[in-house]
Structure 1
Amino acid sequence: MNGLYDELRIAVHSVWNRRWLALAIAWGVCLIGWLVVSLIPAQYESSARIMVRQQTVLSEKVGITAGERRKAVEQLQQTLGSSANLERVVKGTDIGRTVVSEAELASAISALRPNITVKPDPLNESVFSITALHSSPRIARDVVQKLIDIAEEENIAGDRAETSKTLKFLDAQLEARQKELQEAEAKRVTFETQNLGMLPGAGSASMRIESARAEMSQIDSQLIQARSAVAALSSQLAGTPRTLAGAGGGSNPVASAQAELASMRARGYTDDHPDVVAIRNQIAILRSQGAGSAGAGGMPNPAYASLQSMLAERQASVTALTARKSALQGEISDFAAKQISQPGLAAEYSRISRDYEVLKTQYDKLLADREAIRLRGQVENETGTVQFEVVDKPGVPSAPSKPNRPLLLAMVLLAGLGAGAGTAFALGHLQTSFPTAAKLEKASGLPVIGAISQMLTSAQREERKRKMKMFLGASSGLVGVFALLLVVEFVQRGLAA
């Protein structure tokens, strides 16, 4: 412990013996350091906190999700530092007073960009802060306020401009698609008109041929039945007598047939009823045979007349079915010939229809997108899906955020004192003399008989006192300059505020 105390005394003594050198070095270091500190420009920081309110009820109804709203806020935070917005900041604050050319404007924007910070609050994602640094506290406050104004304008006018631009683009696309759709539709109608009956679909040639063949199959069955009926009726008619034997003056068969016809009509039978048609044919046959006049011969046979009428009806049906079969055979041959002569019509029609459906699908999708965007734009513009509320307004800072000049001045003072003391201590270790008898004894290995202290005269004491006063004055001057610099710094802060 005594050794450590002795070493401390030796160090202090070594520095004290070279106090003028230490003081000179301290003055030099402090003056240079304080000059450097004074040249560092002051930066004032102004900040504001903004809360973002998101409208969720109606927004989600029209498809604006929470992710899209959060993305809109993040996009706004990123675009605040864009060159266009920084140009508006420069021109909207006192920074723009010194800008007269495009080069100076670009330089001002480049200098302003790293001094602006927009970051979210780590504890609340709906709150973010805007911070600006500038050498003038008022300009720093104005920069933050201008950024807040731009954020509000971007939220309102930006969404409207983007929605209007999008709707204008979609309207142009819809108009172009509508013209293309009309042309494709007209082309398809013209093709269908020119090739009627040869196109795929409900009225195509293939389906018509199949329908005709199916009808021909039915007609063949009906012809077989009708011809069988004609043969049977012909056989019955051949074995039936025309008249019936009996006395003359019998009842009039025409009158009987007319009475039966009247009875049928009274029962509600129409003229198209088979029984009515048969009795009318029978009356016509009897009249042609003169059965209605009186005579002495036999009476006409009603069964013969009925069979004759039915035979005529079946023969007419056979004739009609044969004619229809011939017509169907002609249609089948005509459609088959057209299919052979024009095999590419179906492929061409499919291509035209496919182009039309593609254009129609695109048109319908664009129309739906335009209506959805128009509705979303109305919701965003009229209800405000993202609203800003200033939590902490930007203020004029009273003290620069950097540099911390009082601390730097104090650090320079300590550095100067340390440099002077360190230099004096180092020079003390380079000397060839010994500060104490113990050091001499240790270095030489020989015993030291004694030590004689310094003897001063009265004149020397007076000279020492004078030098001590000068040293204390120089030391006090160093501390006084430090105090003066602190006073100047705080006065400048007050004037800047």
Structure 2
Amino acid sequence: MNGLYDEIRIALYRVWNRRWLALAVAWGICLLGWLVVALIPNTYASEAKLFVGQQAMLSTSMIDDRNDQRQQMDQIQQTLLSADNLEKVIRATKLGDNISSDREMATKIVSLRENIEVKSDQPNVFNITVKQSGAGRSDGEAAALARDIAQKIIDIFQEENIAGGAGRTSQALRFLDQQLADRQKELQDAEQKRVAFETQNLGLLPGAGSASQQLLSARAELSQIDSQLASAQSSLAALNGQLAGTPAMLSTPNPSGGGSQISQLQGQLASARARGWTDSHPDVIALKEQIASLRASGAGESGGGSFKTPNPAYSSLQSMQAERAATVSALRARKSALEADVSRLIGKQSAEPGVQAEYERISQDYDVLKQQYDKLLAERENMRLKGEVEEETDLTQFRVVNPPSMSRVPAAPNRPLLLAAVLVLGLAGGAGAAFALSQLRTSFPTAGSLEKASGLPVIGSISEMLTEAQRAARKRKLKLFFGGTGALAGVFLLLMMVEFIQRGTVA
């Protein structure tokens, strides 16, 4: 805590040591700022309050009170701020004195529309606020012009009977018809855009036919094909092994020879192998033992010779091999096609999120336009029913609660606050400039700061000794400084006084 206090004390000392610089900077900032504030033109506002009531002659099932209030507010704003009515206001007031072309009139209409505000804080009560700048005219003229504009707006309000009647209803219906036509065209364009987008990106949109669904289906089928291909290749390999162990030709002995028994046994052995039996099968082992026994006894050597005949088992195995090889080739071709489809779908899937987001945006735009169209259609029907009743009954009550005022106090700018802000800014700027200069030209107001900066022990300090003449000179300078500071405050108070006097002179 003591360290913070010392830092604050040192900072204040550095600013005080360069107080003349601080005072000069403060004067410069304040004079410049006050000049800018003085050049800002005053803006005066005129306010008027109107009561526009309607008898509750329509049932709540036909017209909702809140919607009716909002519609009435919209109609008043649209009518009052229309170009025709604003042109009437301009020509009836001093705003139209120097207008010589349609372009100038259009510019003036836009400017006037921005300075008129119509709002409703309470049911059936409308506040009209008109603002006018004092640029190019005196404050009194600006205040009077704002009042005249507000009065002319009220006159138009009464003349055109915008609170009710056939004219207002007809104008509102025309406006709603135009809005409905515009919304219908936008709705048709949005529908065509959505249909075209769906047609263009048929495989990328959410649903059963999307790229993600197709990719899942292709991968599932590819997994099934891999399983079938492995099974078919295994079966083909086993069949090739059987075919390799089966003789293509059989030796057929003469009927008189004993070798016919061996030939029969060999045929049975080939048939067994064709059925998929292995050498470890009991029947295969028994056939081999019988053949070996006959050959050992010499029965196979007796007889009158033999001749070669095609082995039917070998032919059967060849047919089965061709069939299974064709199955393997077909499965491989299907696998290649599926792998190509998966690669293509992965590429499409990378674009799918963007397509889906764009489709959602297009659908959302269509839904918003559809809601707006339905809402306008309901409002038009509501207005038509209301107008039919208003044509036969007098529903409107109009009264000026508060006539247009002529303000003596400008609505903007808040000059006293700006003058005070400039003074505070000037004082802060002066102190900041003095402190910044002290950082550039370092001095040590205390022995502790010198010891801290140098890192060396300070044995002691010597107080400054002043002569009487030096003390007198310092007192004179101090008086001059306080005089300059007081003069700055005096100029501020003078400007505040002038501001309030000028407000009192606004007639």
Q: Specify the TM-score bucket, using the shorter chain as the normaliser.
A: 0.5 to 0.7
Post-superposition offset of 1:436: 0.7
Q: SS where residue 400 of structure 1 aligns?
A: coil
| 1:32, distance to aligned residue in structure 2 (A) | 1.1
Letter aligned with residue 496 of structure 1: V
User: CA offsets per residue over residues 366-392 of structure 1, 9 Å max, x none?
Assistant: xxxxxxx99998974685323322222
Does residue 10 of structure 2 align to residue 10 of structure 1?
A: yes
Counterpart residue identity of residue 142, structure 1: D
Partner of residue 477, structure 1: 487
The answer to whether the aligner puts 1:131 opposite 2:129 as a matched pair is yes
Identity among equivalent positions (%) equals 57
Query: What SS is found at the alignment partner of 2:5?
Result: helix
Q: Verify: 1:427 aligned to 2:398, yes or no.
A: no
Q: For residues 21-420 of structure 1, what are the structure 2 equivalents within 5 Å?
A: 21-57=21-57, 71-121=71-121, 124-135=122-133, 136-155=142-161, 159=165, 380=390, 383-420=393-430
Displacement, 1:84? Answer: 1.1
Cα RMSD (Å) of the superposition? 3.4
- Unmatched 5+ residue regions in structure 2? 134-141, 173-382
Moved more, 91-100 or 156-165: 156-165
Alpha-carbon separation, structure 1, partners of 2:165 and 2:102 = 29
What's the secondary structure of 1:138's corresponding residue?
Answer: helix
Q: 1:96, CA displacement in angstroms?
A: 2.4
- Seen in structure 2, the aligned counterparts of structure 1 residues 40 and 28 have a Cα distance that, compared at 3 Å, is same
Q: How far has the Cα of 1:467 moved from its partner?
A: 1.5
Q: Which of the pair has more CA radius of gyration?
A: 1
> What corresponds to 1:215 in structure 2?
none
Alpha-carbon distance change, 489 to 120 in structure 1, aligned in 2, over 3 angstroms: same
Residue type matched to 1:128 in 2?
F
- Amino acid in the other structure paired with 1:2: N
For the structure 1 residues 382 and 149, does the alpha-carbon distance in structure 2 shift closer, same or farther, using more than 3 Å as the test?
A: farther
Q: How many residues align?
A: 289
Q: 1:467 to 1:73 in 2, by over 3 A?
A: closer
Please state if 1:496 is matched with 2:494. Answer: no
Deviations 1:2-46, CA, capped at 9 Å, x for gaps:
322222221111111111110111111111111111111111122
Instruction: Name the structure 2 match of 1:343.
Output: none
The answer for the alignment partner of 2:294 in structure 1 is none
Give the secondary-structure state (helix, strand or coil) at the position aligned to 2:97.
helix
For residues 384 and 411 of structure 1, the distance between their equivalents in structure 2, rounded to whole angstroms, comes to 56
SS of the aligned residue for 2:161 comes to helix
Distance 1:381 1:389, change over 3 A: farther
- Contact 2:25-2:429 at 8 Å conserved across structures: yes
Contact 2:52 2:163 in 1 (8 A): no
Deviations 1:333-370 (A, max 9, x none): xxxxxxxxxxxxxxxxxxxxxxxxxxxxxxxxxxxxxx
Could you tell me which amino acid in structure 2 is paired with residue 31 of structure 1? L
Cα distance change on mapping 1:8 and 1:149 into 2, 3 Å: same
**Which of 440, 455, 462 is the aligned partner of 1:445?**
455
**1:476 is matched by which residue type in structure 2?**
G
Q: Which amino acid is the alignment partner of residue 86 of structure 1?
A: L
Q: What is the TM-score normalised by the length of structure 2?
A: 0.51
Q: Distance in 2 between matches of 1:26 and 1:96?
A: 45
Residue deviations 1:169-210, cap 9 Å, x none? xxxxxxxxxxxxxxxxxxxxxxxxxxxxxxxxxxxxxxxxxx
Deviation at 1:74, TM superposition (A): 2.8
